[in-house]
Amino acid sequence: MTSRFLSNSLAGLAGMALHKVAGIATSVALARMLGAEQFGVYAFVGTLVFLLGFLTDLGMERVLTRELAAKQSEAAALLSNALALKVVLGLSVAGLGAVLGKLLALDSVSYRCLLLALGALPLGFDLLARAYFQSRLEVAAYYRISLVGSVSFLALVGLCWWWEASVVGVFVAGLANALGVGALFLRSLRARVRFGWSLVPARVRMLLAEGFQVGLLGLLFTIALRIDQVILYHLRGAEEVGQYAAAVRLTEALGILPEAVMLSLFPLLAAAHTSDPQRFRRRYRLGFRYLAAAAVPLALICTFAGAELLELVFGAKYRTAAPAVAWLSWNMLLSFLGAVYLNVYLIQSLYRLLIGVSTVCTLLNIGLNFLWIPTYGLSGAAAATVVSTLVGFGLWFVFPFTRGAVADCVREGTRAFVAGAAGGLAALAWPTTSGAVCAAVATGVYLTTLPLLGGLRWADVRRVTAR
């Protein structure tokens, strides 16, 4: 079980990284091929369909993963309802999107692109397939298919470029690719589970009710992560947004680590939640311990060597965003920990409370951005993100039924926090002005101190996966 946990997490990490590489390569190819105007059409239609996709995907992936992990004998019935519901929602939202396109009075090219993109909505079985493979600790099977889809679309874009196709041709290629990838996912699922295509009212109500709440929560997170750039653009202009976006991209890229861990940890937590509460708590406590242990050195490196990293990745003109990187790196630490306790609350079905706290944090974030950006610019935007996240973390101590998990979070992260403080103080005392040297000193002291404090133990991995 230990080897499966580790291999599943590594497969998830590798799959996410390769997806990002393929996505960047596709965006670069499209931007160069289409030119600014047609690429703008592509981006606009993609954004519109992404927002409409919320109504087809909701938050069913997380709900379905939880149910499949906890009720493995009911996999066929769960998948039958989820897949049928996905098709019904996809067709309904495609019709809604077509009407919306008319109401927006889109030009003929944009409208044709929209119709082609909407045609792929009923075929989007990827998230439901990921839920199944995640519940079985087999995410490698998911990424084998999804990466084929990403690479095949990139190849189709290359052919469109070769044939000098327009943006409409790109969307035709995208629809064909979606059809092929959807068929591959269905074939893979069918080989493992003999599901049908049925809608049982009770299961549909559960998927819709809980999925909508999880999806709304995800939408709030998306708003909180992006609204600062909109406000920064309005108050300080495009150049400062570009600087800030570089800082955001740098720190967000590291966020694939907790995502990869949760691909394995979430189904283990869901399976133990009701059957063995002690094992459930032990597993999420170890999740806190090791995600904190991973996040602190990354935050130290970004804090001390942020300017050098920005120059290396984006170029010398982005070095001035280093203060924002420092702020956001510590928000990254909170995000690593949040990946565990927020999923614990999802498993416990605390949807309304999650939405309430997220709404408070989002509103606070917006208010602080308007308050601090005029004076502090991108550093103010980054600080607003950190403060609103800290307030959200603190709010979980208010409620008796959520207090235990965040208290465990603090306890399990203490060793990493202490080792990080030792590393930070050592770097500040080191006689050098080089950020890279300071980062190396801080990381070295941290890695030396953490094992001495008992923060790294191989036996813990076996405890996470113990049945």
List, in order, residues 6 or more apart from 412 with CB less than 8 Å away: 285, 286, 288, 289, 292
> pLDDT tens digits, residue range 318-335?
888 899 999 999 999 999
Residue type at position 368: L
Q: What is the mean pLDDT of each run of 10 residues along the chain (467 residues)?
A: 72 84 82 79 81 79 85 87 90 94 90 94 89 88 92 93 90 95 92 83 84 82 78 81 81 84 85 86 92 94 92 83 93 92 90 91 94 93 95 94 93 94 93 87 94 75 54
Write down the pTM of the prediction.
0.77
Q: Which pLDDT does position 448 carry in this prediction? A: 94
Q: How many CB atoms lie within 10 A of CB 422?
A: 18
Could you tell me which residues come within 8 angstroms of residue 183 by beta carbon, excluding any fewer than 6 positions away?
none
The residues, ordered by sequence, that sit 6+ positions from 98 with a Cβ below 8 Å of its Cβ are: 114, 115, 118
User: Residues 383-425: pLDDT tens digits?
Assistant: 999 999 999 999 999 999 899 999 999 999 999 999 999 999 9
- State how far the Cα of 304 lies from the Cα of 323, in Å rounded to an integer: 10
Which of 146, 153, 90 minimizes the C-alpha distance to 119? 90
Amino acid identity for residue 76 in this structure: A
Contact 167, 37 (CB under 8 A): no
Contact 165, 37 (CB under 8 A): no
What is the distance between the alpha carbons of residues 467 and 218, in angstroms, rounded to a whole number? Answer: 31
Q: For residues 89 and 139, give the distance between their C-alpha atoms in angstroms, rounded to a whole number.
A: 25
CA 318 to CA 115: how far, in whole Å?
Answer: 39
Can you give the pLDDT at residue 222?
75
How far is residue 65's CA from residue 131's CA, in Å, rounded to a whole number? Answer: 5
* Residue 450, both tokens: 């953490």
Q: What is the pLDDT of residue 213?
A: 84
pLDDT at 36: 67
- Would you state the pLDDT for residue 409? 94
